[in-house]
Amino acid sequence: MRSRRLCLKWLLAGSFGLAAGLSGAAEYQVGDRARADIVTPVQLIVVDRERTEVLRQKEAQRVPAMFRHDTNAAAEAELKMLAAYTGVKESFEKALQRAYKKRRLDAEAVEQERFGRLVATFGRQNRSFPLTTNLAVFWALDEPDQDLMEELTAALREPMQHLIRADRLPALAKAGPQQARLVPVALSNALVDLDTALAASTPFHKTNLVAIGRARKELQAKFSGEQGWAGKFLARFVRESCVFDEALTVQSRARRTDPILSADTYEAGRVIVRAGELIDLKVKAALDELARRTEAQLSQV
C-alpha cells in the first residue's frame, strides 16, 4: 500500500513537467522567468483580478450615488433665523433702555445725533447682524414687526425648498449616472441601513441640486438698497438640506459589483507558462491556484 501511494504521488508530480515537482510553481514571483514548461494536470479556474476590477469599476458607474435629504432643514433654518432676529432686537432694546431709561423713543429722538451714536456702537458690538439705521429706528419707535418677520420667513423659505448641497461634491458623488437616489431622513446624522435607504429612496437628477454658495448669492440679490441688510442676514441661515452619503453609496455599489468575477479556465494538459517566459500577474495567479490544487490533491493520496 505504501509503495502504491508513493507511485501515485510520483505520477501526479511528474505530470507537471517539473523536475523538482509542482511545489516549485508557487515559488515564482512576478518578474521571474520560468525555468521550465509548467503544464496543469487538472482543470484550473483562475480569477483575473485586473480584469475583474475593470469590470467592477465599469459596473459601479451604473449605480446611482445616494444622498440624504434632511426633511427638517427648512423648518430648522426658519427657527434659527427668527431666534437670531428676535435675539438681536431684544439686545438693542436693552441697549436703548440703558441709554435712555426707556424702551421706546419718539420720532424726534431718533433724529438726534445721540441716537446715531447708539446705533453705531451697537453695530460694532454686534457685527454678525447687519443693523441699519432704518431698522434701528423701526425698533426704537416700537413699530409692529410681525409683517417684517413673515416676509423674512417667506424669503428664506423659498431657497430652502430646493435640494441644497455643499459647494463641492467629492469625486464619488459625481461618479455614476446623473440620476441619483434621494433618501429622506428626519435628522442629517440618523443611522440608515442600505435596505431601508433603498426602499425609502426616490430617483432625482443631480442637476436639481443647488450649491449652497449659489443659493445664498441668489437670495442676497433679491434685496437691494435699504433692504440689503435682509439679504445679508437671511443668507447666513441658508443651509445644506441634501448631503452625499458616501457609506450608503459604497455599500450600494459593492452589492452590485462584488458578485462580478472574470476568470480564465485552464483545461488539464494546457501549458500555463513556457520555459523562459516572464511571470506576470496573470501567470502568477494561475501558478498559485495550481500549487493550491496540487497540495490539496497530494494531501489526499
Q: What are the pLDDT digits (tens) for 182-214?
A: 999 976 566 789 999 999 999 999 999 999 999
Domain match, 226 and 273 both: no
Residue type for position 164:
I
Q: Same structural domain for residues 231 and 276? A: no
Q: What is the pLDDT of residue 13?
A: 45
pLDDT of residue 12: 46
Q: Are residues 267 and 252 in the same domain?
A: no
**What pLDDT shows up at residue 24?**
67
One domain, residues 89 and 218 = yes
d(CA 183, CA 248): 10
* 93, part of any domain: yes
Show the domain range for 135. 66-256
Q: Tell me the pLDDT tens digit for each residue of 2-51.
A: 444 434 343 444 444 443 345 567 789 999 999 999 999 999 999 998 89
Residue 59 lies in a domain: no
| 74 close to 161: Cβ distance less than 8 angstroms | yes
Residue type at 190? A
Pair (199, 132) in one structural domain: yes
Same domain for 249 and 268?
A: no
Res 61: pLDDT: 94
208 and 288 share one domain = no
Decide if 66 contacts 252 (C-beta within 8 A): yes
Count: domains in the chain: 2
Does one domain contain both 71 and 219?
A: yes
280 and 156 co-located in one domain = no
Note whether residue 60 is domain-resident. Answer: no
Instruction: Count the neighbouring beta carbons within 10 Å of the beta carbon of residue 216.
Output: 21
Domain shared by 167 and 29, yes or no: no
Which residue's C-alpha cell is 452590485? 256
Low-confidence stretches of the chain (pLDDT beneath 70): 1-24, 187-190, 296-301
Residues 188 and 270 in one domain: no
Residues 274 and 243 in one domain: no
DSSP strands (E only) in 58-211: 66-70, 163-165, 179-185, 202-205, 209-211
What integer pLDDT is reported at residue 254 of this predicted model? 96
Give the pLDDT confidence score for residue 189 in this predicted structure: 62
- pTM of this structure: 0.76
